[in-house]
Amino acid sequence: MLQRRVAPRRLQPVQPRAESQCAPRQHAGLEALDTVPSPLLQAAARRVEARWHNEYGDRFGAEQVAGLLRVLGCAVWERQQGSQAPVDARAHSVLGRRLLELLRAELIRTWGEDSTAAVQMPAMLAGIERVRESIEPDWTPYFASRLSGPDGLELLVQVAHDLRSPLTSVLFLADTLLRDQSGPVNELQRRQLRLIYGASLGLSALADDVITLAKGGDHLVEDNPVPFSVTAMFMSVRDIVRPIAEEKDLSLRFVVLSTDHRRGYPLAVTRVLLNLTTNALKFTEEGFVTVYQPFRRVAGPDRSAFCFSRAGLGLAISRELVRAMGSELSVATRPERGTRFSFTLHLPPVRES
């Protein structure tokens, strides 16, 4: 039955019609958009052309812009039909790539305004992605050669550094909005902001892990032990992971010692606690996450066997940092109870003045 239904669809004369409509034209002016096979793509292309003209005038020429939009619209439609034909060479330009981005944005805007477009939209956006892959330069060989070269590690660290600044801004802005400091937000917006915050925190941690790993994984920022506040360190970790815990409706429990001021490596300890707490929150579906007696144990209950990050970098770096501070990171798991990571550090109390 399935074979009988599929076979006729393969025999439908769709592709020849697309080739005749989308065949290259020597003079493709404004009327060329009429030949874009999909009415939805055609309407989106016309809106992009109008917006481009209003913003840039005749800077690139109306016929050139319309002609490129026709090429892109036809290429997207052909990809939807399964064609692998090469995209017109004119689309392999900066202008072509920019117009494709605008076409995609216009289709997404239409999706939000016109419910009838919902059925066609996923396939159309997939077609745009295939066209984008076809017309964008292939940077893979270049980066592969750079990463395997003598300056490969430096390039990787540079990329990680470049990622940290915008990600830090996203985290700050999301947290500001979550705290209603820019005005009230509804519950749906609050949930979306928590998701944005969590994703950004994950990417920021990955960038930090790459930089730390490039330095050997055991690099301590402080050359010598320094005084620090246990409570302040806990509150810093709590504030960073709070949106993730709220999104999953998990409670965070921090238990501090009676002696608040200690001497040690606060940045390294904070990094380890943050990595382990984030992993615990990521893999805990219900209940709570406890961080207590920070220089004796770090607990992160979990229903899965081990709280490893997807890349595995966070846990590996935590282990190296703990070793650099003269200890070992151990793990114990109990069925139906969770997983506990622990380490012991000698951090003498500091006499408060």
Give the domain-ending residue among 214, 241, 273.
214
Closest among 350, 344, 317 to 330, alpha carbons compared: 344
> How many domains are there within the chain?
3
CATH code of 274's domain: 3.30.565.10
Q: Are residues 209 and 271 in the same domain?
A: no
Give the domain-ending residue among 135, 159, 183.
135
Gap between the Cα atoms of 11 and 18, Å rounded: 15
> pTM for this structure?
0.50
Instruction: Determine how many CB atoms are found less than 10 A away from the CB of residue 299.
Output: 21
Q: Are residues 109 and 6 in the same domain?
A: yes
Closest among 296, 287, 204 to 248, alpha carbons compared: 287
Report if residue 348 sits inside a domain.
no
* pLDDT at position 12: 44
Report if residue 299 sits inside a domain.
yes
Residue 68 vs residues 17, 99, 126: alpha-carbon distances, Å = 20, 8, 19
**What's the domain range around 71?**
2-135
For the stretch 80-126, pLDDT in tens is: 888 888 888 888 888 888 898 888 888 888 776 766 666 777 888 88
- Beta bridge partners of residue 292, listed in sequence order: 255
* pLDDT at position 5: 40
Q: Are residues 230 and 207 in the same domain?
A: no
Instruction: Determine how many CB atoms are found less than 10 A away from the CB of residue 336.
Output: 5
Q: Are residues 199 and 271 in the same domain?
A: no
Q: Are residues 278 and 230 in the same domain?
A: yes
Report if residue 221 sits inside a domain.
no
For the stretch 126-185, pLDDT in tens is: 888 889 888 887 667 777 777 777 777 787 788 888 888 888 888 888 888 888 888 888
| Dihedral angle computed from the Cα positions of residues 315, 317, 321 and 327, in that order, rounded to the nearest 10 degrees | 40
Give the domain-ending residue among 93, 114, 135.
135
Is residue 160 classed as helix, strand or coil in its secondary structure? helix
Cα 162 to the center of its chain, rounded Å: 14
